Amino acid sequence: MLISQRQFMLMLLATVLCYLAVYYYQHSKMNLHFQHAVHSLDVTLQKSPEQLHLHTHNVVNVQSGGNFTERVSHFNAFLSSFRAEELNNGRTRIWQAPTSRSVHVVTNAKRDYFISLSNYSKVTTVILPWLTNSSVSTLQNSSNVLIQNYFEWTADDKHCSWLEKRGEIRKHIPNRDIYITVRPRSLHLSYANAKYVFYMHIHRDAIITAHGNVITDRLKLILHGCRPHDKTIPSRYDHAPLYTEVLVLRQGIWGRGTFHHMVEIMPRIALLVDFLKANPEICIMAPQVGGRLAHLLRIIGLDKPKVITGVTRAKIVYQPRATPCGVANVQESQMLSQLFRNYIKEKFPEQPRNRLILIRRSKTRRFLKHNAIDAVLRRVAMNYNLTYTLFIDNPTPSLSETMKIFHSAVIIVGAHGAGLSNMLFSQPGTYVIEGGCNLPHVLLCYRRLAYVLGHHWHGITAQGRSSRVPCRIHPSVNISPLHIDAVVREYLRM
């Protein structure tokens, strides 16, 4: 039977609608499955935790507008509300031990590890997301990072050629022209996680290992810092002290070294200062109880923190984002530097920013031609009316004196070493010149730190043939004094 053109069009339309209905149904099932796996919930600060039923969700996105500082403040306020609900619900509950000594290890090495965490009911992740509804450029957008202006790093030809051979040009083009660092630019997103500004995992009924990993009932969550990463449950954990709440600051084994506690350990707490000041009952699990770390905690506003160490149990454990080994996190490092600089301005008399600093190491990685470098820099300081300071590490100046010295710096010159971590006390825009080890033992941790803090960085590779000796035990670094003199003078002419 012949059909009219109109009937044919109606049949065709019906077929298309049926196909779309089937596609929509299948797509909806996939979305529901994904949402069930991630359990993500966007929240606003106007709603109470009770209204949000947070305990039925594994991931909470704290949606907050404003600039970076305002968003961090909102994040801390939400954490306090979340904490209050957790304590109200579990105040009378006794700590529950793991039901099995067999645990599933989850690490943040996998990008989708949040999805893996959704299988465990005793951990909740609270996220401050990266806002994408405004300009990607940090020059105009202050919502995701504290510092807006960044400067291209530069290096000598030897350093740049080595990076090009390694393929690093795909991430960041090596620059030989020092004048490219004059103009401020937006943050390279390869330096930041453009999904999360910050996040923290909150565990219930947990064991904290000696290296800062956290175990709950079938889960061991390892946030990679510097090794080792123990993958077992500590023996005799039932004898470990039990606390109501503990925040984990410890990661890996090198937390007592100057670089590691300045660049990896302390930044983990920098975005949580308001939360900890509002809730001083929370203990802090750190690499050490006293020492310089305790002094730094007081400087950022935690006057009498309850610092603990070693294997620990707690009803509630707060595990902030870890710092990858030698890789400074952007937001945490910027906030820590800001807290340091606020303290310096509040506690010490104002000083002119006119200091040229040479860092002298007394053990490994000493400048082989230190005396000649010292002489040319003294001459530069005299020519440009700068205050010259030789910063030595034996004996090291007091922390207060160190802070004042580096806060007034215009230029910092040093061989690769912990003294360069004091750039955290310096004002954004400081020029940092680093003498690196012989190829291929070039470590780039201070280049990254300088960049994320809004400093200028120039690398000079040691002269001589390639070495098999690791950089950390190089006895000396052979850098040309004339090269340093030329770079410093070029900086000062800009």
140 vs 328 pLDDT, higher one: 328
pLDDT tens-digit readout, 72-129:
999 999 999 999 999 988 766 789 888 877 888 898 877 778 888 988 989 999 999 9
Give the mean pLDDT of 231-241.
Answer: 81
Q: Is residue 16, in this structure, part of any structural domain at all?
A: no
Q: Is residue 136, in this structure, part of any structural domain at all?
A: no
Q: Is residue 99, in this structure, part of any structural domain at all?
A: yes
Q: Are residues 118 and 159 in the same domain?
A: no
Report whether pLDDT(179) > 50.
yes
End residue of a domain, out of 331, 363, 398: 331
Q: Is residue 226, in this structure, part of any structural domain at all?
A: yes
What whole-number percentage of the chain has pLDDT above 90? 59
Report whether pLDDT(33) > 60.
no
C-alpha to C-alpha distance for 127 and 132, rounded to whole angstroms: 15
> Two tokens at 437?
């080890």
- CATH number of the structural domain spanning residue 460: 3.40.50
Q: Are residues 354 and 443 in the same domain?
A: yes
Give the ranges where 118-271 is alpha helix by DSSP (H): 157-166, 258-259, 267-270
Q: Are residues 175 and 197 in the same domain?
A: no
What is the domain range of residue 354?
154-184+348-493
Contact 306, 283 (CB under 8 A): yes
Give the mean pLDDT of 466-481.
Answer: 80
44 vs 343 pLDDT, higher one: 343
Indicate the number of domains in the chain.
2
Q: Are residues 307 and 235 in the same domain?
A: yes
Q: Are residues 373 and 454 in the same domain?
A: yes
Give the mean pLDDT of 265-276.
Answer: 97
Q: Are residues 123 and 158 in the same domain?
A: no
Q: Which residue has the tokens 């070294």?
A: 257
Give the ranges where 240-369 is alpha helix by DSSP (H): 258-259, 267-270, 273-278, 291-299, 330-347
64 vs 165 pLDDT, higher one: 64
Report whether pLDDT(67) > 90.
yes
Q: Are residues 223 and 112 in the same domain?
A: yes
* Greatest Cα-to-Cα distance within the chain, rounded to the nearest angstrom: 104
> Two tokens at 201?
């995992």
**What's the predicted TM-score (pTM) here?**
0.87
* pLDDT at residue 115, as a whole number: 85
User: In the structure, what pLDDT confidence band is assigned to residue 9 with cuts at 50, 70 and 90?
Assistant: low
Contact 457, 346 (CB under 8 A): no
When mean pLDDT is compared across 121-125, 132-136, 183-187, 401-405, the lowest value belongs to 132-136
Give the mean pLDDT of 269-297.
Answer: 94
Q: Is residue 106, in this structure, part of any structural domain at all?
A: yes
Q: Locate the DSSP E strands across 152-229.
A: 154-155, 196-208, 214-216, 219-222
pLDDT tens-digit readout, 368-405:
999 999 999 999 999 999 999 999 988 999 999 999 99
End residue of a domain, out of 279, 297, 331: 331
Q: Which residue has the tokens 């400093």?
A: 455
Return the number of other C-beta atoms located less than 10 Å from residue 368's C-beta. Answer: 17
Contact 368, 361 (CB under 8 A): no
465 phi and psi, to 5 degrees?
A: -75, 165
* pLDDT at residue 112, as a whole number: 76
C-alpha to C-alpha distance for 170 and 187, rounded to whole angstroms: 16
Of the candidates 181, 175, 173, the one whose C-alpha atom is nearest the C-alpha of residue 155 is 175
> Two tokens at 87?
């304590």
- Residue 150 has what DSSP assignment? B
Q: Are residues 312 and 443 in the same domain?
A: no
Q: Which amino acid appears at position 28 of this protein?
A: S
End residue of a domain, out of 297, 331, 365: 331
Q: Are residues 159 and 110 in the same domain?
A: no
> Two tokens at 457?
């960085």
Residues constituting the chain: 494
Give the mean pLDDT of 290-295.
Answer: 88
Return the number of other C-beta atoms located less than 10 Å from residue 106's C-beta. Answer: 20
Q: Which amino acid appears at position 165 of this protein?
A: K
Q: Is residue 105, in this structure, part of any structural domain at all?
A: yes
Report whether pLDDT(53) > 90.
no
462 phi and psi, to 5 degrees?
A: -60, 145
Q: Are residues 372 and 424 in the same domain?
A: yes
C-alpha to C-alpha distance for 236 and 239, rounded to whole angstroms: 6
What whole-number percentage of the chain has pLDDT above 70? 84
Give the mean pLDDT of 231-258.
Answer: 84
Q: Are residues 319 and 234 in the same domain?
A: yes
Q: Is residue 143, in this structure, part of any structural domain at all?
A: no
Q: Are residues 263 and 371 in the same domain?
A: no
Q: Is residue 27, in this structure, part of any structural domain at all?
A: no
Written as one string, the DSSP assignment of 57-110 is: -SEEEE---S-HHHHHHHHHHHHHHHHHHHHHHHTTPPP---S-S--EEEETTS
